[in-house]
Amino acid sequence: MSLSNPWFVIALVGVLGVFHLEFFATLLNLARLGRPVPPDLAEVFPEETREKLGEYIRDSKKVEFTQEVTLLGVLVVFWWSGGFGWLQNWAQSQGHGPVVTGVVVIGLVLLAQTWLSLPFQAWDTFGVEARHGFNKTTIGTFINDHFKGLALMALLGIPVAAALVWFFETQAWAALYAWLFLAGFTLLMTWLSPRVIMPVFLKFRPMEEGELKDAIFALARKLDFPVAEVSVVDGSRRSTKANAFFAGFGKTRRIALYDTLLESHGKEEIVAILAHEIGHNKCRHVPVMMTLNLLEMALMLGLLGWVLKSPGFFAAFGVQGTPVGMGLVLFGMIYKPLGVLTGLLGLAMSRKHEFEADAYAREAVGSHQPLTNGLKKLSHDHLAHPSPHPLTVWLHYSHPPLAERLAALQGNPRAV
């Protein structure tokens, strides 16, 4: 662990660089809260909403920033006091093979990270979200969710971690096998998530018969989009924030709407929001994003395979030898800056897709008005930043800022 080791410098610059970039972006973004709201949004963000909104965003950022600083501090102290070497030696001294040892190391680091973040999550949910009237989660649900999450992480994470460690410990073409394995796993999760995983946290019930359900099926027929079932999800048990999503492929597709969306939006708005979701499907956005993710995964695993063979990389963290499990944990730190770059690309693509889905929805329902109204309500209810700084948009926004979406919907994207 010294500055003469290039891996040490890369990791240090990566971790601190990304932290400072994020901090700078947040400051710029907060400074823009004082700006006048774009004229189009004046009705969405009247004076009193804007004050509430400024407080909400500042409060959330305070939690986020304190969490980041704490985690960074713990990481640096652990790293520089030889914690990684100590952890690796302890795990090895338990006398298991490299795969079990690797999984134990990965599991302990993830567990430590999760528990260190937990107080901040609680502060955010019961402090910030509650103070601003969003939170519906009880302490019981919060604790329950946490343990369900941990159980799920163990159930899915242990086999995946074991497979990855095994590939890189024993196979010459490990990066390729790991890539194929993770691609298969991602597909499996896409299928499993709405069927098995989401029902662990949320309750789905079939939507009752009525005008809205008829309108949804009429839209699906008109757009030639087979839907097997429309469900309502009890999002209101946790938050007042609304949402809608799709699940499944082909003829078994299920539409799920948060009960909070049904409460806050009219029939036409909900239909327009669904038309937007169908637009994502019709424009083939899912396979495009999946291909991008697979390409990034290939880049990451190729790099990982190379790094795992470099003793200097491990030495930068005070670890002797080239233990794969520990390597997987440490790789995250040098991958950070590259991850920001690939993230920029993915988010830019996602924002482009949002414009396309909006345009599709406008054609599908024959007017921009219902989607415009729906988006305004969502944005108002979520207390979104009215004019976020471009740097924050590039780094974090999977959806374009509301003002840009509304301008594009009304056919004059240049107005922003």
Calculate the alpha carbon distances from 63 to 112, 127, 393 in Å. Answer: 19, 9, 20
| CB count in 10 Å sphere of residue 265 | 22
Select which of 277, 296, 356, 381 is catalytic: 277
Quote the Cα angle for 6-11-12, to 5°.
95
Q: Which is nearer to Zn ion, 357 or 359 (CB)?
A: 357
Cα 139 to Cα 280: distance, rounded to the nearest angstrom: 36
Q: Which is nearer to Zn ion, 300 or 357 (CB)?
A: 357
3-state secondary structure of 205: strand
Per-residue tokens: 48: 């009193």
The dihedral built from the CA positions of residue 318, 320, 322 and 323, taken in this order, carries a sign that is negative
End-to-end CA gap in the chain = 49
Stretch that binds Zn ion, among 2-10, 248-256, 348-356, 403-411 (CB under 5 A): 348-356
CB of 285 to Zn ion, least distance (A): 8
Cα 416 to Cα 405: distance, rounded to the nearest angstrom: 10
220's CB contacts (< 8 A; 6+ apart) are 226, 227, 278
Q: Which of residues 349-368 bind Zn ion (CB under 5 A)?
A: 354, 357
Q: Which is nearer to Zn ion, 55 or 356 (CB)?
A: 356
CB of 284 to Zn ion, least distance (A): 14
Per-residue tokens: 200: 């662990």
Cα 153 to Cα 166: distance, rounded to the nearest angstrom: 19
Tell me, residue by residue from 97 to 116, as one string, x for binding to Zn ion by CB under 5 A and - for no binding: --------------------
CB of 354 to Zn ion, least distance (A): 5
Q: Which is nearer to Zn ion, 64 or 356 (CB)?
A: 356
Tell which residue, 290, 190, 278, 193, has the closest CA to residue 227.
278
CB of 305 to Zn ion, least distance (A): 35
Q: Are 31 and 61 in contact (CB under 8 A)?
A: no
CB of 32 to Zn ion, least distance (A): 24
Tell which residue, 47, 43, 23, has the closest CA to residue 34.
47
354 is catalytic: no
Select which of 22, 124, 358, 404 is catalytic: 358
Q: Which is nearer to Zn ion, 104 or 274 (CB)?
A: 274
How many binding residues for Zn ion (CB under 5 A)?
2
214 is catalytic: no
Q: Are 394 and 344 in contact (CB under 8 A)?
A: yes
Stretch that binds Zn ion, among 82-90, 156-164, 237-245, 347-355 (CB under 5 A): 347-355
Q: Which is nearer to Zn ion, 241 or 336 (CB)?
A: 241
Helix (H) or strand (E) holding 232: strand 229-233
CB of 252 to Zn ion, least distance (A): 21
Active site members: 277, 358
Residues of this chain that interact with Zn ion (CB under 5 A) are 354, 357
